[in-house]
Structure 1
Amino acid sequence: MKTRITELLGIEYPVIQGGMAWVAEHHLAAAVSEAGGLGLIGGANAPGEVVRQEIRKARELTKKPIGVNIMLMSPYADEVAKVVVEEGVQVVTTGAGNPGKYMKMWKDAGIVVIPVVASVALAKLMERGGADAVVAEGTESGGHIGEATTMTLVPQVADAVSIPVIAAGGIGDGRGIAAAFMLGAEAVQMGTRFVVSKESIVHENYKKRVIGAKDIDSAVTGRSHGHPVRCLRNQMTRQYVKLEEEGKSFEELEYLTLGGLRKAVMDGDVTDGVVMAGQIAGMVKKEQTCKEMIEEMMEQAEKLLAR
């Protein structure tokens, strides 16, 4: 399946793996790229040298293109922005801010820049700033979210910009990929499905929690302070929501989740940890290799789009 995105990124399938903090490391990124999609290393709050080592380790596992997701709110964003140039990374996706100050450096280095956006206004701003494409991410996603749904956001962004649009949020199978294409997207970005891949280093407890999730099992914390995060319900989310209702400060609430994602991903604490996952978790029912996932989804999507 050829689109402007597959051509731009030099990939076989229009599937991009989300740059999830603690989850999107070199094993997963390399496996997705090797399977024909685009694997991303999640920069998150990691120092530049840590990201550099992740890039190099991924390159030992695949010769295919890989990308790096840079969280612009990270205290190390300036470092990581330079590292991707020094390491010759082909693609950068960005979140949590405006990448404008890095754009000339990245474009001069020939890097494809794809910001994640949650609104039409931001998509247009990114296009004017020189972005090569945008990821329109709906509120169904796991982790930090906006308000618009994928179903409403993707077509509006596709109508508003001339650069290619990648759909994200609530996509976990071939039906979701086909639907995204019908909405005007030319690729999809997926996170939750890849969390349970065999190559994912996520703790087995986390994987089992995602695979066992029902359709109503996700919760959003942090709305009262303008920092909504979607994760699976557990003791932590119940406590967080209770404190929100009591009007606790942002600092008090943040203390509750401090280190929570690492606790869930690495230590397997799915009771008090932050189990980030999208609403699509209720459809994720098995652990597979990235190759099996991508080929199964693309076969289903191509059959639907050929009807």
Structure 2
Amino acid sequence: MARGTEFLGTEWAILGGAMSWISERHLVAAISNAGGFGVIACGAMTPDLLDTEIAETKQRTGKPFGVNLITMHPALGELIEVCGRHGVGHVVLAGGLPPPGALDKVKATGAKLIAFAPALALAKKLVRSGVDALVIEGMEAGGHIGPVSTSVLAQEMLPEIADQVPVFVAGGIGRGEAIAAYLEMGAVGVQLGTRFVCATECIAHPNFKKAFLRASARDAIPSVQIDPRLPVIPVRALKNREMENFAAKQREVAGLLDSGAVEMAEAQLQIEHYWAGALRRAVIDGDVESGSVMAGQSVGMVKREEPVADIIAELTSEAAAALDTRG
């Protein structure tokens, strides 16, 4: 983990997963202040909103934190400039292969660039492109997911790329023993999202947190793609009425695509905006039936509401104990 903490400038190489509406100034600052690495979820924010969010986070912590940007955001270039103006030390690019010029633009700000790699071929391509670190995230994670489990990705990818760039593992991690196992396999750290949702400092609505505390792993299910012509990245969330509503939304957007009313890029953007709105209804308004309760399969390990510092202390002591017993 020393390689990870040196890369991040933190006490622990534990990244907070970037969860829209949740990973904002309060939770991000709390994770960084507790020795981890908080990451602002830019999501669908405008450049002005991101500018405010970074400034407010800096008011709450003097420790390092990062910003997660979605590669398909239409204002990606401006968002990178906002990060540069604030001197953000680490930018995380998520949501697919970065568009031409995006990597160079991030590097030009002086920030270290972290990218998501859901497959070995993509990981190798990103390393050749000059990314500074990678996150490999399995399908157990909450929110947008890929098709392969974390344990399989780690076995396949860590031996191939862990000696080239620092690699963080994410998806389904709820206890320190799992952190220890991935460190032994060559990872320099981990990323967790679901475990931090019920942190005292998290602004999520009490109904949203209650849904997490009641849920088991099997309640966190992936969305289903309705129309093969409309490629939709599956989203893992707690089973509720919203998961059915999403099927209707896909049919509506596919109809627009068929009629020529929208292009494919606009269709996919509509789906993303839909998720952002559905997630806001659940996280901010507390509507956990017609809102999206995005959660990873580690949700069954979320037992109580507690401060971020206690969550990180528990994870690190479990990891240390597991490594000690192995000598």
TM over 0.5: yes
1:220: which partner in 2?
A: 222
The DSSP-based 3-state class of the residue aligned with 1:274 is coil
Shifted more, 221-230 versus 44-53: the winner is 221-230
> 1:269 is aligned with what amino acid?
D
What RMSD in Å do the two structures reach over aligned CA positions? Answer: 1.9
The DSSP-based 3-state class of the residue aligned with 2:251 is coil
1:135: which partner in 2?
A: 135
> 1:227 is aligned with what amino acid?
I
Q: CA deviation at 1:185?
A: 1.3
CA distance in 2 between partners of 1:256 and 1:167 (Å)? 28
Which of 229, 233, 238 is the equivalent residue of 2:235? 229
**Structure 2 segments unaligned to the other structure (5+ residues):** 256-269
TM-score of the superposition, structure 1-length normalised?
0.93
2:59: which partner in 1?
A: 60
> 1:188 is aligned with what amino acid?
V
Identity over aligned residues, as a percent? 38
CA distance in 1 between partners of 2:217 and 2:153 (Å)? 21
> 1:29 is aligned with what amino acid?
V
1:125: which partner in 2?
A: 125
2:278: which partner in 1?
A: 260
1:76: which partner in 2?
A: 75
> 1:281 is aligned with what amino acid?
V
Q: Following TM superposition, where does structure 1 have runs of at least 4 consecutive aligned residues deviating by more than 6 angstroms?
A: none
Describe the shift of the 1:256–1:3 C-alpha distance in structure 2 as closer, same or farther (beyond 3 A).
closer
Is the contact between residue 45 and residue 76 of structure 1 (CA under 8 Å) also seen in structure 2?
no
The DSSP-based 3-state class of the residue aligned with 1:201 is coil
Describe the shift of the 1:31–1:249 C-alpha distance in structure 2 as closer, same or farther (beyond 3 A).
same
Which of 191, 201, 205 is the equivalent residue of 1:199? 201
The DSSP-based 3-state class of the residue aligned with 1:22 is coil
CA distance in 1 between partners of 2:279 and 2:112 (Å)? 29
Q: CA deviation at 1:76?
A: 2.4
Q: CA deviation at 1:251?
A: 4.3
1:96-115 residue pairs with structure 2 within 5 A? Answer: 96-99=95-98, 100-115=100-115
CA distance in 1 between partners of 2:152 and 2:58 (Å)? 37
Q: CA deviation at 1:198?
A: 0.6
CA-to-aligned-CA distance 1:101-149 (integer Å, 9 cap, x gap): 2222322332111101211111111111111110000000001100111
Is the contact between residue 96 and residue 116 of structure 2 (CA under 8 Å) also seen in structure 1?
no
The DSSP-based 3-state class of the residue aligned with 1:259 is helix
Matched, 1:159 2:177: no
Shifted more, 185-194 versus 92-101: the winner is 92-101
Is the contact between residue 158 and residue 164 of structure 1 (CA under 8 Å) also seen in structure 2?
no
1:249-288 residue pairs with structure 2 within 5 A? Answer: 250-251=253-254, 254=271, 259-288=277-306
In the alignment of these two chains, the number of paired residues is 303
Shifted more, 28-37 versus 179-188: the winner is 179-188
